[in-house]
């Protein structure tokens, strides 16, 4: 009887550990990990943000730092809710609803303001000063408190028994960053 009990415990622990690993390797769990990296400002997310800001030639040093701080706050405030998971063999789709700052409206209002008030963005020689406009745009982004909800259908592929999130489309990236023009 004691041997049977030990065998039962061993089988339970063995299958339980395997079962626990399977719970961590689901399409939904991979999507949750993805969004969690944004919310916790994981190094991968910060590295991508740094690379993006470095590539933006129109920013000066102060503007780069302000932009990074705006988006760090944006990512920390990101909310998501998994709505559905559909698995078809080695392919899966996870539908997720995200709530993000609505930067697209602020950017559109900034552009309209510049068009209506062009003299505010001219230098001493009467020429358009892009740096002044960027400062204005960043100030508007900092003030954003409006949010918007998007639904994303994220695709995953299972390779070597591991679910991998497919790269986001440009539209999905724009929605995640709150800059999608709708």
Domain CATH code at residue 157:
3.10.450
Calculate mean pLDDT across residues 10-33.
67
Encode pLDDT of 127-142 as tens digits: 999 999 999 999 999 9
CA–CA separation, 87 vs 30, rounded Å? 13
31 vs 55, 118, 135, 175, CA distance in Å?
27, 44, 35, 16
Calculate mean pLDDT across residues 19-44.
88
pTM > 0.85: yes or no? no
Encode pLDDT of 80-113 as tens digits: 999 999 999 999 999 999 999 999 999 999 999 9
Structure tokens at 88: 């078809």
**Helix H or strand E encompassing 92:** strand 91-101
Encode pLDDT of 46-87 as tens digits: 999 999 999 888 999 999 999 999 999 999 999 999 999 999
pLDDT at residue 154 in the model: 98
Could you list the residue range(s) of the whole structural domain that residue 119 is in?
A: 28-176
Domain-located, residue 80: yes
Domain-located, residue 105: yes
Percent of the chain with pLDDT over 90: 83
Task: Write the CB contacts of 60 (distance below 8 Å, at least 6 apart in sequence).
Answer: 131
CA–CA separation, 16 vs 133, rounded Å? 58
Domain-located, residue 7: no
Domain-located, residue 60: yes
Task: Write the CB contacts of 99 (distance below 8 Å, at least 6 apart in sequence).
Answer: 78, 79, 80, 147, 148, 149
Domain-located, residue 131: yes
**How many separate domains does the chain show?**
1
Domain-located, residue 78: yes
Spatial CA neighbour of 154 closest among 49, 79, 80, 78:
80
CA–CA separation, 72 vs 31, rounded Å? 19
């Amino acid at each position: 009887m004691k041997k049977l009990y030990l065998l039962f415990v061993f089988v339970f622990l063995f299958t339980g550990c395997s079962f626990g690993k399977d719970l961590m390797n689901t399409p939904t769990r991979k999507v949750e990990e993805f969004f969690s990296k944004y919310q916790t400002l994981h190094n991968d997310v910060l590295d991508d943000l740094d690379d993006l800001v470095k590539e933006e030639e129109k920013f000066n040093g102060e503007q780069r730092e302000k932009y990074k701080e705006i988006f760090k706050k944006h990512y920390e405030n990101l909310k998501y809710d998994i709505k559905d998971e559909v698995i078809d063999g080695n392919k899966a789709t996870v539908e997720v609803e995200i709530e993000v700052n609505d930067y697209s409206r602020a950017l559109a209002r900034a552009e309209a303001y510049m068009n209506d008030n062009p003299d505010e963005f001219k230098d001493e020689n009467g020429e358009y000063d892009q740096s002044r406009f960027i400062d204005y745009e960043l100030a508007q982004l900092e003030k954003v408190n409006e949010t918007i909800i998007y639904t994303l259908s994220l695709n995953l592929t299972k390779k070597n028994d591991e679910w991998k999130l497919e790269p986001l489309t440009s539209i999905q990236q724009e929605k995640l960053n709150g800059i999608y023009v709708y």
